[in-house]
Amino acid sequence: MGNFGSLTIPQIAEVGNLALALGLAVSVYVVFAAVFSQLKRRGEFFASARYGIYVITGLTTLAVAILEWALLTHQFRFEYVANHVSSDQPLLYTISALWGGQEGSLLFWVWLLALFGAVVLIQHLGQTNHLIPWVIAFIAFTDAFFFSLLVFISSPFALLAQTPVDGIGLNPLLQDPGMFIHPVTQYLGYVGFTVPFAFAMAALVTGDLGYAWIRTTRRWALFAWLFLSLGLLFGMRWAYVELGWGGYWGWDPVENAALIPWLTGAAYLHSVMIQEKRGMLKVWNLVLILLTFLLSILGTFITRSGVIQSVHAFGVSSMGPLFLAYIAAVLIVFAYLLYLRLDQLKEENRLDSMWSREATFLLNNLILLGAAVATLWGTIFPMISELLAGKQITVAAPFFNQVNGPILLALVLLMGVCTLIGWRRASPQHLVRNFVPPLVVAAITTLGSVVSGVRDVYGLIAFAASAFVLTTILLEFYRGARARMRMYQENVAVAPVQLVNKNRRRYGGYIVHIGVMLAAIGIVGSTFLQTSVQKNVAPGESVALGPYTMQFQKLFMTSESNAQVIAADLIVFENGNRIDTLRPQKAYYPAADQMTTEVAVRTTLREDLYVILAGWNDDGSATLKVIINPLVVWLWIGFIVFIIGALIAMLPDPREAQAVERVRAEKVLAGAIVQ
């Protein structure tokens, strides 16, 4: 198919490039129109800026539609299509090639941001909100930055001089179902943090630094953080089943690039509650939302620039200076505005006691920020070493484990402590009453872990800490439900549901913490209790590990649309009883001359049996690597619980709506009294 309607391929490419150039021009116009409308009180300019956001959304949608059409119809004249699609590539990976390369992923980024800008305007349609013009100005400024990358450095509509017979195809490592959802969720998280950041900047510009901007953006921040969490989850699952090394987190730079803003975003979501409750940490919260946004931009830079070696990263490009210039510009503007508003950001209250929820939340923030700084340092160190010494010195997983292990363990412990301590100040009697039951459960768990074979000190502490935290949260649910049963005569089935429904933010947060603890149990179990064996076996021979015996039957080959697959047929026995058949595989992609691993996994609530086809010989024998990953399924279950909790916390909270109405009524009454 060489044309689209009456247009030729070069003309279609021109339309795509024109859409990007117009997007850049309109974005710049929106910035100036929105700012001018506020400086000169010209409503018509704000109206045109608002329409400009919708135009940007239409232009980016047109560009995405053109590129996706080119991918789906195999228009190999487009350089991007030739590099990321082949004629025998499955449809799912052809669709996801849109974000599978540098140019397409940048276009996808700006498209999502344009959509979010339109959603913000629709949310406030017909409302008088003096923050909105400044919000769309900052969103459009970010739009303009990404459009400039696409227009001047990395256009997805570049054409080849001659049309190749076939394309190279998507990187074989990316040809996994996870490719369809992992990058999308991660991008929704990255891009989503632009909205609360834009509201924070608008609050600084206008001087309206009360609770309005926080209340308006709380769900946006939760939305972004939730999708960044989903991106981490799907990325971990992808690594677990696709890379064939027995783990799910290797401290790869691009993994770290998503984790760092997740940590600072978590810190913001916790500390903002202190500002709402006590009028404290106002400057800190602004700084946290700035850091989270800029770290999302930095994560995009690390992934897209290729400056750091990674299994995820794309080729080296010249966009680094533009990224750094954008980050520097944002930092300068933010620092200037913050300096101007320091008098309005004074604390309304002070920390009454170190034994208070405020203190534990602050310590929680410091720990999360410490983990983020340590991870960031290890991630960018190769860039720094290359700059100073002329060569990249890679920081490996042991560094991150040694530094972040104790930090994250302290964070787990603190989750339980902050649940048990009230606001302002906790009495000694209150502390004793609340701490004894969780400590007893933690002690019993420690003994059970020793009996189960755990000998590592960190492992014992981690299991005990997880049990401690889970007990504290379950006690909170029990006490709350029991109070409702007494007060409202609700039965044991209704009371917990109503407890959550009437305070979704608080108990949704508790459910998130339960998910984190379940995930922690999965991480600790698979880290400290993992066992493995590797053996070369001929047909009919077996390899044994723990209660399992894998009897190797034969090797067989199959063909897929774009790969040759060799698999090992295994019969699995547990304690002498046949329980399953597994087929670990290797896939060879001729177009890329690359081999990938497809592991075979048998999952139970107790452990994963994880089998890798490590190699094979001409005589029909195979080398098998077998790993037992205890409790790893609880990592995935924990994430599911985590997501449920986050969704509950995002729902409109009746108590919050009532509080907003009270404030509005007080303002109306005050106005009436003044008159």
pLDDT at residue 84 tops 90: yes
Model confidence at 307, pLDDT cuts 50, 70, 90, reads: low
Q: Say if CB 532 and CB 246 are below 8 A apart.
A: yes
How much is the pLDDT for 308? 61
Task: Tell me the backbone φ, ψ of residue 409, rounded to 5 degrees.
Answer: -65, -40
| 190-220 pLDDT tens trace | 999 999 999 999 999 999 988 888 988 899 9
Do 606 and 626 have their domain in common? yes
Average pLDDT of the chain, as a whole number = 89
Cα(361)–Cα(379) distance, rounded to whole angstroms? 27
In sequence order, the 6+-apart residues with CB closer than 8 A to the CB of 618 are none
Model confidence at 669, pLDDT cuts 50, 70, 90, reads: low
| 11-57 pLDDT tens trace | 999 999 999 999 999 999 999 999 999 998 888 999 999 999 999 99
Strand partners, 204: none
What token pair was written down for 257? 């690039």
Do 307 and 450 have their domain in common? no
Task: Tell me the backbone φ, ψ of residue 348, rounded to 5 degrees.
Answer: -85, -25
The amino acid at 294: L
Put residue 207 in one of left, alpha, beta given phi > 0 → left and psi -120 to 50 → alpha: left
DSSP three-state, residue 281 = coil
Cα(140)–Cα(121) distance, rounded to whole angstroms? 12
Cα(546)–Cα(541) distance, rounded to whole angstroms? 17
pTM of the model: 0.91
Q: Which residue range is the domain that position 517 belongs to? A: 427-529+639-674
Provide the number of structural domains found in the chain.
4
- Of residues 243 and 351, more confidence is placed in 243
Cα(73)–Cα(80) distance, rounded to whole angstroms? 13
Do 272 and 201 have their domain in common? yes
pLDDT at residue 572 tops 70: yes
Please check whether residue 417 lies inside any domain of the structure: no
Q: Say if CB 169 and CB 97 are below 8 A apart.
A: no
Look up tokens 């350089």; give the residue: 79
Q: Say if CB 31 and CB 137 are below 8 A apart.
A: yes
Three-state SS letters, 563-628: CEEEEEEEEEEECCEEEEEECCEEEEECCCCEEEEECEEEECCCEEEEEEEEEECCCCCEEEEEEE
How much is the pLDDT for 629? 95
With CA atoms as reference, report the closest residue to 284 among 369, 217, 221, 375.
369
Do 444 and 336 have their domain in common? no
How much is the pLDDT for 313? 45
How much is the pLDDT for 1? 44
How much is the pLDDT for 672? 46
Beta-carbon neighbour count of residue 628 at 10 Å?
A: 21
Model confidence at 452, pLDDT cuts 50, 70, 90, reads: confident
Do 601 and 569 have their domain in common? yes
What token pair was written down for 171? 């990187």
Report which DSSP code applies to 556. E
- Mean pLDDT calculated for residue range 530-543: 95
- Of residues 420 and 241, more confidence is placed in 241
Q: Say if CB 190 and CB 292 are below 8 A apart.
A: no
What token pair was written down for 147? 């459009």
Please check whether residue 413 lies inside any domain of the structure: no
Cα(327)–Cα(320) distance, rounded to whole angstroms? 11
Please check whether residue 422 lies inside any domain of the structure: no
Q: Say if CB 120 and CB 139 are below 8 A apart.
A: yes
pLDDT at residue 352 tops 70: no
| 584 exposure class (CB count in 10 Å sphere: 0-12, 13-18, 19+) | buried
Do 37 and 55 have their domain in common? yes
Q: What percent of the chain has pLDDT over 70?
A: 92
Q: At what angle do helices 428-451 and 457-488 cross, to 10 degrees?
A: 130
- Which of 360, 381, 408 is at the close of a domain? 408
Cα(393)–Cα(400) distance, rounded to whole angstroms? 15
How much is the pLDDT for 295? 95
C-alpha distances in Å from residue 289, one per residue of 221, 273, 327, 405, 594:
9, 14, 14, 25, 42
How much is the pLDDT for 666? 54
How much is the pLDDT for 267? 95
In sequence order, the 6+-apart residues with CB closer than 8 A to the CB of 155 are 16, 17, 20, 103
- Mean pLDDT calculated for residue range 275-285: 88
With CA atoms as reference, report the closest residue to 569 among 519, 618, 620, 605.
620
Do 669 and 569 have their domain in common? no
Do 597 and 512 have their domain in common? no
Q: Say if CB 1 and CB 45 are below 8 A apart.
A: no
In sequence order, the 6+-apart residues with CB closer than 8 A to the CB of 11 are none
The DSSP string of 178-240 is: HHHHHHHHHHHHHHHTHHHHHHHHHHHHHT--SSHHHHHHHHHHHHHHHHHHHHHHHHHHHHH
Put residue 489 in one of left, alpha, beta given phi > 0 → left and psi -120 to 50 → alpha: left
Do 212 and 247 have their domain in common? yes
Model confidence at 675, pLDDT cuts 50, 70, 90, reads: very low
Please check whether residue 414 lies inside any domain of the structure: no
pLDDT at residue 421 tops 80: no
How much is the pLDDT for 353? 66
Please check whether residue 525 lies inside any domain of the structure: yes
Do 497 and 549 have their domain in common? no
Cα(338)–Cα(469) distance, rounded to whole angstroms? 37
Please check whether residue 654 lies inside any domain of the structure: yes
Task: Tell me the backbone φ, ψ of residue 97, rounded to 5 degrees.
Answer: -60, -15
| 130-151 pLDDT tens trace | 899 999 999 999 999 999 999 9
Please check whether residue 242 lies inside any domain of the structure: yes
Please check whether residue 415 lies inside any domain of the structure: no
Do 182 and 250 have their domain in common? yes
Do 217 and 270 have their domain in common? yes
pLDDT at residue 381 tops 90: no
Element (H, E) at 148: helix 132-152
- Mean pLDDT calculated for residue range 610-633: 95
What token pair was written down for 172? 């074989």
